[in-house]
Structure 1
Amino acid sequence: MTSRRSRLTGDSPESAPSDSPESAPSTAPASSDAPSSADAFPILVESLDSPESIAAEVSAQLEAFLAEKAAEFEAISPDATAIGDALIEFTRGGKRVRPVLLWWGFQLAGGDLRAGVAGGTAADRATGSAADVTVGLAQAAGSLELLHAAALIHDDVIDNSDTRRGRPALHRQFEARHQRFGFHGDGASFGVSASIVIGDICLALSEELFERSQETLGNGRTALELRGTVRRDVMVGQYLDVLAEVIPLGDDRIADRAWEVLSYKSAKYSVEQPLLLGAALAGADSEQLQEISAFGLPLGQAFQLRDDVLGIAGDPAATGKPAGDDIREGKRTVLIAETAARISADQLEILAARLGDPDLSDTEVADCVDMITDSGGLAAVESFIADKHAHAATIVDTWAEGAAGAASAERSAASAQVRIGSAAQERLKGFAKALSYRSS
């Protein structure tokens, strides 16, 4: 990975290019952190660090931070030890998708972990060793994992989910703790209350860890704005999800609402925004941010569309959730919206009655899955996934072609603002395919 050569800072970009009316607007802001140089080209990024090495670095920083916080909780009261233990265990494992993408966003924008701080002010960039920058980037990436964990903890409470990643959901764990210690009162209520509080603590720790990363990476305005946008969008998206579950299935806007939830609750904060935040930490300008957004948003949508498919027809052994769990939870996903638009009035009445019923039998769930499949709803979503994935892959190819064209004097001013070598191209396309067509 090589240092980023700065380019002219542009105005705030318009929405990312879209290949469907369901695409959400880009959240790439204008950047005023990078110095200007009108005739400079973006630096060539030959390769990207492996997901495994990134995950290991981020996990180490996350565990160290949470161990420190757990000791603080215990110092407040021995009874608060359970908070730290729960968070350490809850944040272990997982795909680390968001940290990997933040890291790669930093690299795609030319950030160099070997050369000291790349983003922020000139004073920021003048301080900090390569090791410091690696730690700072891992902390920023780890803060996204804590934001994700907070969202999952609250999401499981809202959805009344029993499991998460093949283990009892956090509120179920504390419900069992209530019973194990013979506490008074209602165990389920205690579990819910404890999980809401721990989710809030996790959110606060996410902010604290990001602030700590800024001591090394610098306090660039664009990165701080993006961080706030990530927080806002996932919370607003969660509300839209809650709202969608009480809207009649026959509502004319059910598909629009489903795409809003998909984009703002997951697609943006899972893929697009981590990439943008990493790029901003490297000092990316608005043109570069817009181009990265054009790759990240459709890939994020494909990622969440696949999640919706797995929530209906996934293998429980792979997903860690019961088959058809989204039906029992009443999720108004794009998959459900596409099915509702294709079935008869009688079938719609049956689906609407069953959606959100936690006591559905396995046979009733299977009937709903058959309805989704036979109607063509599943095929429509698979087509959306293929289109979104293809769009993201095309952007990656454009970046590689831009790198090849940069060797020529005829390189156009309209060429890609991100330039990658074949190794980086292969890694990005492989990861994009894995996100779009995963089984868990």
Structure 2
Amino acid sequence: MTSHNSVTPDEHRASSAPTSSAAPAPSEATAPSEATAPPEATAALPALIESLDSPESIAAEVSAQLEAFLAEKAAEFEAISPDATAIGEALIEFTRGGKRIRPVLLWWGFQLAGGDVRPTTGTAADVTAGLAQAAGSLELLHAAALIHDDVIDNSDTRRGRPALHRQFEARHQRSGFHGDGASFGVSASIVIGDICLALSEELFERSQEALGGSRPARELRGTVRRDVMVGQYLDVLAEVIPLDDDRIADRAWEVLSFKSAKYSVEQPLLLGAALTGADEDLLAEISGFGLPLGQAFQLRDDVLGIAGDPQATGKPAGDDIREGKRTVLIAETAARISADQLEVLASRLGVPDLTDAEVAECVDMITDSGGLAAVESFIADKHAHAATVVDTWARSGSGAVSAAVSDASARVRIGSAAQDRLKGFATALSYRSS
């Protein structure tokens, strides 16, 4: 699988999304064509997906499987040593709650590709449990990435609570341990992040016992893991590249796509579809919805990282400036401000002890330059593209077109309930406040 799993710099430049002189947006799969098929085309219509399970019910199924799995692992850790009890406790607490975006999308990918979550014959409970385990494995991959990301960024908080390395630093202090507490916190978090990653793989393999795992699904699961790790490296590299670097915009789009957009939205959908045995054409079509939506999701995250409400985001205002993130938002701003302003912005990115006034001045540059407006335009375009794909799927499922036309225009057919659910979710991802 390659066509829906890579985004090259050339594809960035060839995008049809709104562009500026600074940051050409990367391309995504073109929305399915509505051209009429030749008269001789008589292929049967794909199955109609009337509705999709609710995010709340999916989250409940996944959370139950995830907590049971982690409780089992916590008991194993404790059996090794009572000192290892802290590992299980930390992982159970860290993975509790959250929006469960990736599990929901994996579940929907399975349904959009025709998978029956609760078949009326056979081992229905096993299929539901297996799908919840596969979805839970993505939540563990996400948790591992967050744990390591907070260490890399030296973040103090995560979701309104102390970051895991800060929690273990505090544990060091409370226990009266010898040595440096901060170093102990970082070391413990790196190890726990590694354990979380290993558990993610173990839970996915367990899910395959119920789902009858296929080689394409396992390969795609490996691609998800690879992309988020490579994206993390690209993010680390981008933070030390000068703002006037010729590739600053391309680098920002690469980080956005591979560190977050793909593994947060597109790849969960594709993995769910692959678990049903979906072919390359169907995966490419689902990618046409997932990739632009994932990009809108991460672009919104970048906006919130600069100008979000700390009460909603759980992060201090302007945190991305203090962490030195070279986001698309920063790239768009750098292309629009004066040389003197660029020097000021460059000198402040990545300085953790900036005053609130210094952060506010940077935010003003981002807003006044038009950088923020450019990114909002990108978000609107990406969201609209994803919505267009959903509308095409709904028209294909409405019965208003012939079988030949429908087959030519879409491999996915959905009813109005599924259409409303997908479009509502897309809007929530693109325009959320946290």
The percent identity for this pair of structures is 86
Give the 3-state SS of the residue equivalent to 2:405 in structure 1. Answer: coil
Does 2:399 correspond to 1:389?
A: no
Contact 2:266/2:294, CA 8 A, preserved across alignment: yes
Does 2:23 correspond to 1:19?
A: no
Deviation (angstroms), 1:405: 4.3
Contact 2:43/2:407, CA 8 A, preserved across alignment: no
Instruction: Quote the Cα distance in structure 1 between the aligned partners of 2:303 and 2:292.
Output: 17
Does 2:231 correspond to 1:228?
A: no
Contact 2:217/2:275, CA 8 A, preserved across alignment: yes
* Structure 1 equivalent of residue 159 of structure 2: 165
The structure showing larger relative contact order (alpha-carbon pairs under 8 Å, at least 6 residues apart) is 2
1:109 corresponds, among 113, 133, 136, to: 113
- Pairing of 1:69-148 with structure 2 (within 5 A): 69-115=73-119, 129-148=123-142
Instruction: Quote the Cα distance in structure 2 between the aligned partners of 1:210 and 1:406.
Output: 40
Instruction: Quote the Cα distance in structure 2 between the aligned partners of 1:78 and 1:97.
Output: 34
* Structure 2 equivalent of residue 377 of structure 1: 371
Deviation (angstroms), 1:411: 3.0
Contact 1:405/1:411, CA 8 A, preserved across alignment: no
Instruction: Quote the Cα distance in structure 2 between the aligned partners of 1:13 and 1:179.
Output: 51
Q: Which residue identity is paired with 1:22? A: A
* Structure 1 equivalent of residue 313 of structure 2: 319
Instruction: Quote the Cα distance in structure 2 between the aligned partners of 1:245 and 1:237.
Output: 13
Alpha-carbon displacement from aligned partner over 1:172-228 (angstroms, at most 9, x marks no partner): 000000000000000000000000000000000000000000001012111111100
**Structure 2 vs 1, CA of residues 244 and 12 (structure 1 numbering), >3 Å: closer, same or farther?**
closer
* Structure 1 equivalent of residue 56 of structure 2: 52
Contact 1:24/1:263, CA 8 A, preserved across alignment: no
TM-score under structure 1 length normalisation: 0.90
Give the 3-state SS of the residue equivalent to 1:95 in structure 2. Answer: coil
Contact 1:61/1:138, CA 8 A, preserved across alignment: yes
Instruction: Quote the Cα distance in structure 2 between the aligned partners of 1:412 and 1:420.
Output: 12
Instruction: Quote the Cα distance in structure 2 between the aligned partners of 1:410 and 1:299.
Output: 29
**Structure 2 vs 1, CA of residues 23 and 128 (structure 1 numbering), >3 Å: closer, same or farther?**
farther
- Pairing of 1:411-422 with structure 2 (within 5 A): 411-422=405-416
Alpha-carbon displacement from aligned partner over 1:36-70 (angstroms, at most 9, x marks no partner): xx934321000000000000000000000000000
What's the RMSD between the two structures over aligned residues?
A: 1.7
**Structure 2 vs 1, CA of residues 152 and 425 (structure 1 numbering), >3 Å: closer, same or farther?**
same
* Structure 1 equivalent of residue 34 of structure 2: none
Alpha-carbon displacement from aligned partner over 1:80-105 (angstroms, at most 9, x marks no partner): 00000000000011110000000000
* Structure 2 equivalent of residue 68 of structure 1: 72
Instruction: Quote the Cα distance in structure 2 between the aligned partners of 1:130 and 1:163.
Output: 41
Instruction: Quote the Cα distance in structure 1 between the aligned partners of 2:117 and 2:104.
Output: 14
- Pairing of 1:359-378 with structure 2 (within 5 A): 359-378=353-372
* Structure 1 equivalent of residue 240 of structure 2: 246
2:46 corresponds, among 42, 45, 55, to: 42
2:252 corresponds, among 235, 258, 272, to: 258
* Structure 1 equivalent of residue 349 of structure 2: 355
Give the 3-state SS of the residue equivalent to 2:282 in structure 1. Answer: helix
* Structure 2 equivalent of residue 267 of structure 1: 261
Deviation (angstroms), 1:412: 5.0
**Structure 2 vs 1, CA of residues 196 and 256 (structure 1 numbering), >3 Å: closer, same or farther?**
same
Q: Which residue identity is paired with 2:249? A: A
Instruction: Quote the Cα distance in structure 1 between the aligned partners of 2:122 and 2:146.
Output: 34
Deviation (angstroms), 1:404: 2.1
Aligned residues: 409
Contact 1:258/1:334, CA 8 A, preserved across alignment: yes
* Structure 1 equivalent of residue 428 of structure 2: 434
TM-score under structure 2 length normalisation: 0.91
Contact 2:147/2:164, CA 8 A, preserved across alignment: yes
Contact 1:227/1:277, CA 8 A, preserved across alignment: yes
* Structure 1 equivalent of residue 196 of structure 2: 202
Contact 1:23/1:298, CA 8 A, preserved across alignment: no
Alpha-carbon displacement from aligned partner over 1:99-141 (angstroms, at most 9, x marks no partner): 000000000001002227xxxxxxxxxx951111000000000
Alpha-carbon displacement from aligned partner over 1:294-314 (angstroms, at most 9, x marks no partner): 000000000000000000000
Where do 5+ consecutive residues of structure 1 fail to align?
A: 1-10, 27-37, 117-126
**Structure 2 vs 1, CA of residues 55 and 344 (structure 1 numbering), >3 Å: closer, same or farther?**
same
Give the 3-state SS of the residue equivalent to 1:414 in structure 2. Answer: helix
Contact 2:28/2:288, CA 8 A, preserved across alignment: no
Instruction: Quote the Cα distance in structure 2 between the aligned partners of 1:400 and 1:12.
Output: 27
Instruction: Quote the Cα distance in structure 2 between the aligned partners of 1:13 and 1:243.
Output: 26
Contact 1:389/1:433, CA 8 A, preserved across alignment: yes
* Structure 1 equivalent of residue 37 of structure 2: none
Instruction: Quote the Cα distance in structure 1 between the aligned partners of 2:44 and 2:2.
Output: 20
Contact 1:106/1:280, CA 8 A, preserved across alignment: yes
Instruction: Quote the Cα distance in structure 2 between the aligned partners of 1:389 and 1:24.
Output: 14
Give the 3-state SS of the residue equivalent to 1:439 in structure 2. Answer: coil
Instruction: Quote the Cα distance in structure 2 between the aligned partners of 1:298 and 1:82.
Output: 40
